[in-house]
Structure 1
């Protein structure tokens, strides 16, 4: 049984990604991070909605202000419990690294990258981001960032 693939359109991010809007790019990176884990897509989507839509964790700065325990509780609300502690920890590391190395900007990662491969390698340098997360992210962010798919 295959599970449906969540899209940026379903999360209301497609237009923002098409024009490389920073807020939409971060939200899609966060969603891609959650969807890239070995967990049901419906649970990952619910976790995204709890974090972003219900609790306003829609920027690296807002996410970084949370404690690990707060994030574990929010992930628990979404029934994202299998990897809740490691996911919370990695979300904090992601937001803090993005703030420290790229001024909190996904666009800055792109600007500092020599090409799409370099951009992907920079994403892979974030703890918890693997090839699947990069694939999901680039599937819909590539056009806005690089003008092609």
Structure 2
């Protein structure tokens, strides 16, 4: 079995209070959490973040449905592009509307790690797999080392 990819494999590290790195990892986790190969998810992340520069909830959330579908398709999400695009848009809207576009805004509104995880699981398209992938790297940045 191959080792799971980390932020470092994508060319960045997650740091406490660094919204850009937290969102980039959240987006990667969202993509990795789907039933699609790790290689396709990583390629799609690079297409969205590096090629198209959609590295914040506001930038990604400003994309039309058609543009999201095109970016997902470019990365190889051919069978999942139409279903993933609206979830991705809704995740960005929720982050912006409810948490000022900040992953740390979720932590600020939650009562500890368990509350953060419950709130994240309420996002469309975020299930236990996405949550586990995200928290594997982001927990220390959000809540300190265990």
TM range, normalised to the smaller chain?
Answer: over 0.9
Q: How many residue pairs are counted as aligned between the two chains?
A: 146
Aligned residue number for residue 98 of structure 1:
95
4+ aligned runs moved over 3 Å, structure 1: none
Contact 1:3–1:41 (CA<8 Å) still a contact in 2?
Answer: no
Matched, 1:59 2:40: no
CA deviations over 1:4-28 (Å, ceiling 9, x no partner): 41111111232xx233300100110
The Cα of 1:69 is off from its aligned counterpart by 1.0
Matched, 1:26 2:29: no
CA RMSD of aligned residues (A): 1.0
Aligned residue number for residue 36 of structure 1:
33
Normalised by the size of structure 1, how large is the TM-score? 0.94
Aligned residue number for residue 8 of structure 1:
7
Gap regions ≥5 residues in structure 2: none
Normalised by the size of structure 2, how large is the TM-score? 0.96
CA deviations over 1:73-120 (Å, ceiling 9, x no partner): 111111111211111111100000100000100011011111111100
Gap regions ≥5 residues in structure 1: none
